[in-house]
Structure 1
Amino acid sequence: MGTRRAMEKKKWDLAALASIPLIMTLANSMLIPVLPLMQKKMAITVIQTSLIITVYAAISILCIPIAGYLSDKHGRKKIILIGLSITAIGGAISGLGAWLLSTGAYWTILAGRFVQGIGAAGAFPIVLPIVGDMFKSDDEVSNSLGIIETSNTFGKVVSPVLGSALAMVVWYLPLAVIPFLSILSIAAVATLVKTPKQQESEAPGFREFLRGLKDTLARNGLWLYAIFLIGCMAMFIMFGFLYYLSNTLEDEYSIKNIQKGLVLAIPLFAICSSSFAAGKIIGKKKNVMKWFTVIGLAVLSATMIVCGLHRSDTLVWLIVLLFLGGVGIGMSLPSLDALITEGIEKEKRGTITSLYSSARFIGVAGGPLVASTLMKQERWLFYLFAAIGIVCCLVVLFALKPKKGNE
């Protein structure tokens, strides 16, 4: 009852914060169904096309820990607003470059995506610690993180349909709308989110910060690195199979535009719905979080093995398998978010969750790049995904050992 009352009181704060992962996801995932069209319009290679996703994620990987430190020192809300503003600028560079330049559009788009990635580093990754700051009980934090993760995955569900629909108007429109979406989120966060007063307190100097970070990593040890690895690999598999599916639908089945977006939305809906359900169920039971992650990764690995063995049977069969794989990913993500947010003291939460977000962005960067190189060896691509899932499952079993008091 207390959890419900606390969340009701903060519902507008949560709604504003949930707009950030939604918009950051749209900014990236809207492009996935449009990549083959961009490739044709700009006469670039498959690997060059995948770099439109990879460059965004790659620069975020480097900037996220810095943003986490700055959020501990100067306040989470301030860094989020700056991050969203930079995202808007990067989106404007990409959109204007695609619109105005007949030659060199590709490199201008990449430059804009680079800037956009810097902004993204100061936006979504800071949402996890600010939610941890806003609520006192583990139940409240888990439920709220479930909402945030659901918003993230809902953005992934909507993005292929929206991206395809926008590209039917003008091929670069998915790039051009990003500044406007960012401005909406800036307005919501600025007016609705109230940061806790302690958030503005002084943080240690950079040298002392590095010493404290090293100590935190040493004290928490294996379980923390395990969560970094699993978050990275879950995103690697998700963005890898989405990139693969986007190209396969167009090249093999001639499914394009909104129809293609709707098909891509099916596995993403599985991730969204299972994330929402997992966030509601896990509460503060860390042992439940562990087993949700194990089961989710086992389901993901099994479906990837079957995809490798029987992928070419029918498109319907492939979509069913990827739907089940999405359920597995969705089961794992809220548990990982809750474990890392609740397991770290507030003073270090911004930095540690930012490192976790960096790890996830490594997966986002690597998935499309690897999938683009293995498109002609699709069986081995799925076997690679399965092997990664099995390793992550074993890591969870042996590295995550919740204390009995948290069961």
Structure 2
Amino acid sequence: MKEKKKLDLAALSSIPLIMTLANSMLIPVLPLMQRELKISALQTSLIITVYAAVSIICIPIAGYLSDRFGRKRIILIGLSIAAVGGLISGLAAWLMNGQSSYAMILLGRVIQGIGAAGAFPIVIPLIGDMFQSKEEVSNGLGMIETSNTFGKVLSPVLGSALALIVWFLPLASIPVISALSIIAVAFLVKTPKETHSNNENSTKIQPVRTFVRNTAALLAVKKWLYAIYMIGCLSMFIMFGFLYNLSTILEDHYGIDGIKKGLILALPLSAICLSSFVTGKIVGENKRKMKIICVIGLTVLMMAIFTCGFLNAQNLWFLLSLMFVSGIGIGLVLPSLDALITEGIEKKQRGTITSLYSSARFIGVALGPLIASILHGKSLFYLFAGCALLSLALALFSIKPSSQPQPAS
């Protein structure tokens, strides 16, 4: 990979890192926010859920716009909107009180979700646009997933540390870190000419009806995409569900909070980060290998989570060990899905298709904490194991990408 492209990739890797921090670093401080704002547990969970829910709706729109107006332009707009939303939430927490503060925080989170829809989901197709070699594409996607999961590793520690200074500092820091990513992308990322060309030979904007019809036609031909969407959704559901559950267990049953709690939460997330990095290096351009690695990861994930429920693990370190193994499984799955979906779709439709995949993942992000707040103990782990088993079946029998290379576009 050329040195210049390494700088591009480093700048793009800042986007999933920062967008992940903007959401995940709030998870360990939600109980504190609940006490400070004097709100219910359900209201507290909405601080996470509304961010993901609005992204689900906006991501396909952002993908459509990125296909027509250029990836970099949409990414910069998305990051700017996310920064504005973070500023609103931070100021509301600082200057207002009670329900009025909570309402404005939620408004800021909604705006953040809109911005996030135009940032991280567009990075995946942009990586596919920037690199010609399939090996470079898979390596780049591995770096993006590693950055995403590193953000999750860093989030609980950073969120807990910032909250020790001022409880709303995790919210107020979001516009600052978003600005850093805006600067990096604006000055370091050089996109291929065809992705942002404005000359008369550029692809014209399709009417929405034509766009929907063409997308539906593609999905009808490549039915394996539905399996990837479902697996991505269920993987993120499991990840955020067990994070929320572990956060609650640490505080309620073990009396662990603050930075110590953040460090413990980072252990299973570090497994995802390391596993994603290694997977991105080895997956290459072989679609069969991508599928095999995905199947292995889902098998590991299912067995580890089922063991948590079956043995009703009470010892903290035994539970963490099983969750660490689960993290390895998820880390094998995510980069493989990214590579399958990027290598299997032509460039001109890549933004739209990968944005639908990102929407599916955000559905899992939104549902995980909500379901984990309702179910506990064995029933929750059995639900996660069942989701992993369903994903494994889909990977085995439904993922059938064409073995033929995609034509250049």
TM-score interval for Structure 1 and Structure 2 normalised by the shorter chain: over 0.9
The answer to whether the aligner puts 1:165 opposite 2:161 as a matched pair is: yes
- 3-state DSSP of counterpart to 1:400: coil
The answer to whether the aligner puts 1:91 opposite 2:86 as a matched pair is: yes
Shift of residue 218, structure 1, vs aligned partner: 1.2
The answer to whether the aligner puts 1:55 opposite 2:50 as a matched pair is: yes
- Residue correspondence of structure 1 range 324-339 to structure 2 within 5 A: 324-339=325-340
Indicate how the Cα distance of structure 1 residues 319 and 262 shifts in structure 2: closer, same or farther if over 3 A, else same.
same
- 3-state DSSP of counterpart to 2:333: helix
- Residue correspondence of structure 1 range 163-312 to structure 2 within 5 A: 163-200=159-196, 201-206=202-207, 207-221=209-223, 223-312=224-313
* Residue 120 of structure 1, aligned match among 111, 116, 123: 116
Q: Give distance in 1, aligned partners of 2:34 and 2:245.
A: 15
Is this contact kept in 1: 2:344–2:401, CA < 8 A? Answer: no
> Considering only aligned residues, what root-mean-square deviation do their CA atoms show, in Å?
1.1
| Structure 2 match to 1:313 | 314
Q: Give distance in 2, aligned partners of 1:285 and 1:46.
A: 46
The answer to whether the aligner puts 1:396 opposite 2:392 as a matched pair is: no
Q: Give the percent of matched residue pairs that are identical in Structure 1 and Structure 2.
A: 65
Shift of residue 403, structure 1, vs aligned partner: 4.7
Shift of residue 51, structure 1, vs aligned partner: 1.0
Code of the aligned partner of 2:97: S
- 3-state DSSP of counterpart to 2:191: coil
Q: Give distance in 1, aligned partners of 2:312 and 2:106.
A: 33
Moved more, 96-105 or 40-49: 40-49
Is this contact kept in 2: 1:311–1:317, CA < 8 A? Answer: no
- 3-state DSSP of counterpart to 2:397: helix
Code of the aligned partner of 1:173: L
Code of the aligned partner of 2:378: R
Q: Give distance in 1, aligned partners of 2:377 and 2:30.
A: 19
| Structure 2 match to 1:133 | 129
Is this contact kept in 1: 2:80–2:182, CA < 8 A? Answer: yes
Instruction: Normalising by structure 2, report the TM-score.
Output: 0.95
Q: Give distance in 2, aligned partners of 1:324 and 1:12.
A: 32
- 3-state DSSP of counterpart to 1:10: helix
Moved more, 55-64 or 105-114: 105-114
Shift of residue 158, structure 1, vs aligned partner: 0.6
Q: Give distance in 2, aligned partners of 1:378 and 1:96.
A: 38
Structure 1 residue runs of 5 or longer lacking an equivalent are: none
Moved more, 95-104 or 305-314: 305-314
Deviation per residue, 1:265-320 (Å, 9 max, x gap): 00000000000000001100111111111111111111111111223430011100
Q: Give distance in 2, aligned partners of 1:228 and 1:403.
A: 17
Q: Give distance in 2, aligned partners of 1:354 and 1:255.
A: 38
Q: Give distance in 2, aligned partners of 1:378 and 1:220.
A: 38
Q: Give distance in 1, aligned partners of 2:204 and 2:31.
A: 46
Code of the aligned partner of 1:288: K
Q: Give distance in 1, aligned partners of 2:361 and 2:97.
A: 35
Shift of residue 402, structure 1, vs aligned partner: 4.5
The answer to whether the aligner puts 1:21 opposite 2:12 as a matched pair is: no
Q: Give distance in 2, aligned partners of 1:337 and 1:139.
A: 13
Q: Give distance in 2, aligned partners of 1:45 and 1:329.
A: 32
Shift of residue 405, structure 1, vs aligned partner: 6.0
Structure 2 residue runs of 5 or longer lacking an equivalent are: 197-201
Q: Give distance in 2, aligned partners of 1:12 and 1:76.
A: 17
Code of the aligned partner of 1:220: K
Deviation per residue, 1:86-133 (Å, 9 max, x gap): 000100111110111122221111111111000000000000011000
The answer to whether the aligner puts 1:80 opposite 2:79 as a matched pair is: no
How many residues of Structure 1 are paired with residues of Structure 2 in the alignment?
Answer: 398
- 3-state DSSP of counterpart to 1:253: coil
Deviation per residue, 1:222-263 (Å, 9 max, x gap): x10000000000000000000011111011101110000000
Q: Give distance in 2, aligned partners of 1:274 and 1:210.
A: 36
Deviation per residue, 1:340-372 (Å, 9 max, x gap): 011000010000000000000000000001111
| Structure 1 match to 2:379 | 380
Code of the aligned partner of 1:117: G
- 3-state DSSP of counterpart to 1:311: coil
Q: Give distance in 1, aligned partners of 2:213 and 2:342.
A: 20
Deviation per residue, 1:154-187 (Å, 9 max, x gap): 0100110000000000111000000000111000
Shift of residue 401, structure 1, vs aligned partner: 2.6
| Structure 2 match to 1:111 | 107
Moved over 6 A (4+): none
